[in-house]
Amino acid sequence: MRENVLFAMNRLREKLWFRPLIFCMLSILGALIAQVADSTRLHELVPEINTESLETLLHTISSSMLVIAIFAVGSMISAFSAASNTATPRSFKLIIADDVSRNALSVFIGSFIYSIVATVALKNGYYGVAGNFTLFVFTLLFFALVILTFLRWVERISRLGRMGHTIKLVEDATAKAIKNRLASPTLNGIVINPNQEKGTAVYGEFTGYVQQIYLSKLQETAEKLDALITINAIPGSFSSIDRPLFYISLQKNTTTENDYNDLRKAFVIGDMRYFDEDPRFGLITLSEIASRALSPAINDPGTAIQIISSYVRLFSLWAEPLHSKKAEKKPYDRVAVPELTIEDLFEDAFRPLARDGAGNIEVMIRLQKAFNSVYAIDNSAIKIAAMHHSHQAYERAEIEMKFNGDLSLLKSESLFTKKT
């Protein structure tokens, strides 16, 4: 149940309308709750506020906030378009989830709704002396909130959609996904035993990307059936009719079609991938940005070099002692989950860069330096993958580069040539 709620909340937070809706409800509540002050003795302590001055303040908010909200939406759409065109469309979900921009839009729309509701209530004599004073205080607070929000939003909108900002958002989302996976390599399941038979293959009913797996539901059903479930499609995998979702090994063949349907429902399959539990998607998104930057039409090797630096930081997460010492809880002893393989992560990250940047000496030198950096991590799988991809990158460069001086310089920086 907790997995379902967290996944649903993450998807809901990505909706542009969600936060403005919450703020609008709070604004309406604030405009109406001011009347509660009239039931107290506050009217004996506070000065009487002129109704006309309140109406003027509320009119100022109502006449300006809607215009500013429309302007904010237009600016955000321009930023979204810029991010999709200059970086990659896969970054759109992160740009649209920008907290500062959504908070600004929420404040602007919420202030407009607040002013309308408060004006109607004020003109109909809803407030007494204490209510008018409370409403006056609320209105001043709204003014202050709007001004501070607008100033902060102007600073953010100048960066929203820019290449550097987009790369940072993707890197942060990828780092979060990697940290979560390092803390739980098997998603709180058990490690797959290669010597044990997987059992009967079960295929999905839908074609698309696995977005979420409810392991608690799989565990519950597996306990009921006295079975072991081996997952074949982790989050981010593409599910199709030729690839099993999972395998089930039964002590007694007592399963029905309803049991299989219950197990299939534990897999959320959709048209797109999400960054939450899919580290590979983040690495692929960064590589797409780098490949576009290296295309002849763009010719921006500096962006590719920036992406390589991001990769070094991301793979350096395997060197953090916190993850290597953290014991993983395994409450789902009936569900075996495959771990991410370093080779797959290196393929997602470095192969497109080595292919598209093979003829650029600056990019290739930075790439070889990156392999040297990650090779220093105390992880045998990373060392093997870094060596392999260093060799491949150098061979690609040998094919593309015509100047022997560039090749000699690259060879002196190559991890492969240093270690062999």
Query: Coil, strand, or helix at residue 197?
Result: coil
> What span, in angstroms and rounded, lies between the C-alpha atoms of 10 and 270?
15
Among the candidates 246, 270, 294, a domain finishes at 270
> What span, in angstroms and rounded, lies between the C-alpha atoms of 248 and 250?
6
* pLDDT score at 285: 94
Question: Are 130 and 111 found together in one domain?
Answer: yes
**Phi, psi at residue 170, to the nearest 5°?**
-65, -40
Question: Are 142 and 17 found together in one domain?
Answer: yes
Q: With 0-12 CB in 10 A as exposed, 13-18 as middle and 19+ as buried, what is 322?
A: exposed
> What span, in angstroms and rounded, lies between the C-alpha atoms of 145 and 117?
18
Question: Are 78 and 23 found together in one domain?
Answer: yes
Question: Are 220 and 301 found together in one domain?
Answer: no
In a domain, 182, yes or no: no
Among the candidates 160, 187, 217, a domain finishes at 160
pLDDT tens digits for range 351-376: 999 999 999 999 999 999 999 999 99
Question: Are 7 and 139 found together in one domain?
Answer: yes
In a domain, 126, yes or no: yes
Residue whose token pair is 């649209």 = 96
**Cβ(270)–Cβ(147) below 8 Å:** no
* pLDDT score at 325: 41
In a domain, 183, yes or no: no
Q: With 0-12 CB in 10 A as exposed, 13-18 as middle and 19+ as buried, what is 366?
A: buried
Structure tokens at 157: 């909108």
Q: CATH number of the domain at 243, please.
A: 3.90.1170.30
* pLDDT score at 284: 96
In a domain, 201, yes or no: yes
> What span, in angstroms and rounded, lies between the C-alpha atoms of 19 and 193?
45
In a domain, 169, yes or no: no
Question: Are 344 and 392 found together in one domain?
Answer: yes
Among the candidates 237, 270, 303, a domain finishes at 270
> What span, in angstroms and rounded, lies between the C-alpha atoms of 63 and 407?
65
Question: Are 292 and 252 found together in one domain?
Answer: no
Q: 208: which strand partners?
A: 239
DSSP assignments along 240-287, one per residue = -TTSEEEEEEESS----HHHHHHHHTTEEEESS--STT-HHHHHHHHH
Question: Are 201 and 154 found together in one domain?
Answer: no
Residue whose token pair is 């192969």 = 351
Question: Are 153 and 257 found together in one domain?
Answer: no
In a domain, 177, yes or no: no
Structure tokens at 353: 């860069």
The DSSP output letter for 418 is H
* pLDDT score at 213: 92
**Cβ(212)–Cβ(7) below 8 Å:** yes
Question: Are 410 and 289 found together in one domain?
Answer: yes
Question: Are 211 and 254 found together in one domain?
Answer: yes
DSSP assignments along 46-57, one per residue = SPPPPHHHHHHH
In a domain, 171, yes or no: no
In a domain, 190, yes or no: no
- Determine the structural domain holding residue 360 and report its residue range: 279-419
| Residues lower than pLDDT 70 in the chain | 1-14, 16, 43, 83-84, 161, 252-254, 321-330, 420
Question: Are 350 and 242 found together in one domain?
Answer: no
Q: What's the domain count of the chain?
A: 3
The pairing of strands 267-270 and 238-239 is unpaired
